[in-house]
Amino acid sequence: MGNAKRYIRSLALGHLIYPESLASGGGLPLESGRVHYVDGDLTPTGTGRTWGAAFNTIAGAISEASAGDVLRIATLTMSSGAADPSSYEENLTIPAAKGSLSLIGTYRGKTQGGLPQLKDGATTTQEIIRVRAPGCVISDLGFNGAGNTGGGVLLDESGSGNTAFGTTIQGCHFKNCNGSTSTDVKTGGAIMWSAVGGAWQARIADNVFYKNTGDVVLKGTTSSRPQDVVIEDNTFSGPAGSVDANLYLAGGSGMNGVTIKRNDFPAVDLPALGSGTVLLYIDAASCTGLLAGNTFATIVDTLGSEKTFGATGSGGIIPTTMRMANNWGEATANTYTGQIHRT
């Protein structure tokens, strides 16, 4: 594009675009809200108005923010020879009054080390981020659940006044996330709905998951079944020995309208976590919706060690209330197709 002054007349006349009017990451718009900057390397904490005066905790920025604001979160400096990124060690809650809040990291690639990393704070049994407000965005952040039994991100509609509908989680990296029982996906994982369910209109897109007991987990539906949920363009967890189930959507009465499309499931031959409880790529029992355009690291024809997909599938439980189209695995010979069909 070149110099913006050539295209925006007000800039040529000397007007300025101030940083608080901008938000980058995921193509996300900023309406009338304010940008708050977070950089954990700074001491003491600042007012959050600029990078040079940033908050040094994410919790401090959330406390200061209003509904509709944007938090821009810097990657922490890593020491020479570091084997793990420096982390924001915090347990965070987006409260009900702060809807449409966006948490956006600085992006250097969708990898551990390329994104600002969050690990557990003082409460190791609590999820890293609890969302209790509608319309929020979590983008370009890393989550490391090592040492934690609360999981990564919880969409939490339990309690009076809490709603988490319209949440978008995109461009993130999730690693080592599990629930209260590290071998049972039903107790938690990287992205979770609480036991009450709800949190309709969620979008989980373009994330990388690695070595999580579960990647997306529905714990229950005592309040309502999640509806209009889209799970697309993700790379789910492997290797097989670290995973109980990539998608456990069977809690309570399942999801009423879920689209699972263009995802990769790289756990070779099937999730195989020792003492695992579910051991499937997907458990979508009782769900309605569509499974389309996904790839699975497993053999799917009868000449090999076939994994099946259907109401009682050995690779994935997909009830007849969901449809399957254009999903693929490996065929055992060149003369056979690897397309997955209901069995």
* Cα–Cα distance for residue pair 184/55, rounded to 1 Å: 37
CA 256 → CA 215, 228, 298, distances in Å?
Answer: 19, 7, 28
**Domains in the chain, ordered, with CATH?**
78-340 (2.160.20)
> How high is the pLDDT of residue 23?
45
Element (H, E) at 62: helix 58-64
The sign of the dihedral angle between the CA atoms of 158, 255, 94, 179 is positive
182: Cβ contacts below 8 Å, ≥ 6 apart: 149, 213
Question: Cα Rg for the chain, rounded, in angstroms?
Answer: 21
pLDDT, residue 302, reads 87
Q: Which two tokens stand for residue 229?
A: 């949920």
Return the structure tokens found at 270. 């099937």
Residue 74's CB is within 10 A of a number of other CB atoms, namely 18
Half-sphere exposure in the Cβ direction for 66 (13 Å, CA): 5
Range 39-43, long-range pairs (CB < 8 A, 24+ positions) = 39/74, 40/74, 40/76, 40/86, 40/88, 41/74, 41/76, 41/77
Instruction: Please report the pLDDT score of residue 1 as a whole number.
Output: 47
DSSP-derived secondary structure letter, 240: G
> To 5 degrees, how large is the angle CA 182–CA 188–CA 189?
85
Residue 333, both tokens? 């010979």
pTM recorded for the entire structure: 0.91
Instruction: Return averaged pLDDT per consecutive 10 residues of the chain, 343 residues in all.
Output: 55 56 49 89 96 98 97 95 93 98 94 95 91 98 96 95 97 97 98 98 99 99 98 98 99 99 98 98 99 97 92 98 97 88 88
Per-residue model confidence (pLDDT) at position 314: 97
Report the DSSP beta bridge partners of residue 208: 173, 235
pLDDT at 317: 99
Q: 186 in helix, strand or coil?
A: helix
Structure tokens at 328: 């693929």
Do residues 105 and 138 lie in contact, with contact meaning Cβ atoms separated by under 8 Å?
Answer: no
